[in-house]
């Protein structure tokens, strides 16, 4: 009977070590603590841990400590990281159809954008992303992006001509800046502050929570409120991780992702208002665009290009239609 005891012990040990050895996953994030993306990702991690009785422990690495965004897109694809939150700019390098989400003045506001993303179009984007190695668990709000400058106070798109403007490393953004007769400078997010300090850039463009959280507002005080790009961000897991999850665990991850997206959107709206108030109090000056038509007219070559492109045409038509 001794062998039975040994066998039982081995089984118990097996169970104990299983219980004691949760699967640790690494989540990439570009933002600091307290930022809506970070808080929503932490909520996601906590809910996954609860729903899987601690079998999955997700560590959120914030502030791009694991590398900048284009690098992280590659890391997720190669399985070096398991989870990430990406904006549509760098993601479109991996999935060309996503480029449409970076086009200026496509969505009128976040509500319009989420009507599409929470519906059939979002599913189509998710399917294309999944084929490229990214499983979308939630669409987050990337807000409306506007220009801000250090050494000029634009009140018209002509005032941006000749400026060196920092953009994300993303084709559509660079094309947009060129069509404004300005010079696109692709810099990683964390280097933008240094770019202003060293005079390497005159302007940048981003949403107001990032304008505030990065401290850009201290150096670039003139905001030209164009909201030229209203775009989503996505909470994604690698398809390598997805393939390893049981159907029950996939459901736990999906539910937690959907929950975190709702939380993010709620936190976002509050944060936009706070950022506007806080930066204005500290000296930021806001000039609202009066008429977007000259800007839209300048972008005509962009719309024609992506309308002719079979990877974006269908998506573009769907968004324009409603
Ligand atoms: C932020 C966005 C980041 C990153 C950044 C940038 O608004 O949340 O993911 O794309 O902009 O401009 O690099």
- Cα separation, 216 vs 208, whole angstroms: 10
* pTM for the whole structure: 0.93
107 in a domain, yes or no? yes
With a 6 A CB cut-off, is 168 part of the ligand 1 pocket?
yes
231 in a domain, yes or no? yes
Q: How far is the CA of 19 from the centre of ligand 1 (A)?
A: 38
Residue of 69, 166, 194, 267 to test ligand 1 pocket, by largest number of atoms within 8 Å of CB: 69
Q: Which domain holds residue 65?
A: 18-320
4 in a domain, yes or no? no
259 in a domain, yes or no? yes
Q: Kindly report, residue by residue over 153-207, the tens digit of the pLDDT.
A: 999 999 999 999 999 999 999 999 999 999 999 999 999 999 999 999 999 999 9
With a 6 A CB cut-off, is 87 part of the ligand 1 pocket?
yes
Residues 6+ apart with CB under 8 A from 25: 56, 57, 58, 59, 82, 83, 241
7 in a domain, yes or no? no
301: CATH: 3.40.190.170
Radius of gyration, CA atoms only, the chain? 22
pLDDT for the residue 322: 80
Which residues of the chain register pLDDT less than 70?
A: 1-19
Which of the 8 DSSP states describes residue 222?
E
pLDDT for the residue 67: 96
2 in a domain, yes or no? no
pLDDT for the residue 263: 98
With a 6 A CB cut-off, is 238 part of the ligand 1 pocket?
no
Q: Which residue has the tokens 């309308």?
A: 307
Neighbours of 120 (CB within 10 A): 10
Tokens of 133: 């190695």
299 in a domain, yes or no? yes
Number of domains in the chain: 1
With a 6 A CB cut-off, is 207 part of the ligand 1 pocket?
yes
Q: Do residues 249 and 52 touch, judged by C-beta distance below 8 A?
A: yes
Atom 2 of ligand 1, nearest CA residue: 87
209 in a domain, yes or no? yes
């Amino acid at each position: 009977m001794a062998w039975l005891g040994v066998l039982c012990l081995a089984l118990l040990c097996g169970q104990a070590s299983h219980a004691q050895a949760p699967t640790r996953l690494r989540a990439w994030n570009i933002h600091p603590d307290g930022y809506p993306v970070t808080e929503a990702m932490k909520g996601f991690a906590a809910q996954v841990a609860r729903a899987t009785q601690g079998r999955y422990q997700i560590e959120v690495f914030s502030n791009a400590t694991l590398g900048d965004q284009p690098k992280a897109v590659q890391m997720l694809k190669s399985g070096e990281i398991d989870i990430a939150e990406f904006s549509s700019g760098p993601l479109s390098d991996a999935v060309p159809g996503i480029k449409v989400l970076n086009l200026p003045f496509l969505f009128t506001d976040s509500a319009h954008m989420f009507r599409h993303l929470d519906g059939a179009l979002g599913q189509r984007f998710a399917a294309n992303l999944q084929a490229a190695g990214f499983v979308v668990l939630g669409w987050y709000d990337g807000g409306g992006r506007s220009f801000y400058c250090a050494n000029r106070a634009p009140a018209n798109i002509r005032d941006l001509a000749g400026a060196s403007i920092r953009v994300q490393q993303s084709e559509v953004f660079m094309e947009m800046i060129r069509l404004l007769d300005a010079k696109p400078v692709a810099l990683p997010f964390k280097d933008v502050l240094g770019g202003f300090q060293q005079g390497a850039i005159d302007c940048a463009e981003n949403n107001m929570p990032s304008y505030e959280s990065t401290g850009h507002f201290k150096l670039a005080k003139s905001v030209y409120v164009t909201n030229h790009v209203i775009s989503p961000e996505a909470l994604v897991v690698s398809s390598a991780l997805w393939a390893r999850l049981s159907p029950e665990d996939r459901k736990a991850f999906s539910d937690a992702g959907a929950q975190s997206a709702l939380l993010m959107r709620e936190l976002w709206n509050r944060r936009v208002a706070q950022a506007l108030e806080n930066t204005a109090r500290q000296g930021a000056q806001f000039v609202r665009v009066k008429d977007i038509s000259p800007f839209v007219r300048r972008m005509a070559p962009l719309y024609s290009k992506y309308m002719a492109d079979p990877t974006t045409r269908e998506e573009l038509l769907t968004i324009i239609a409603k």
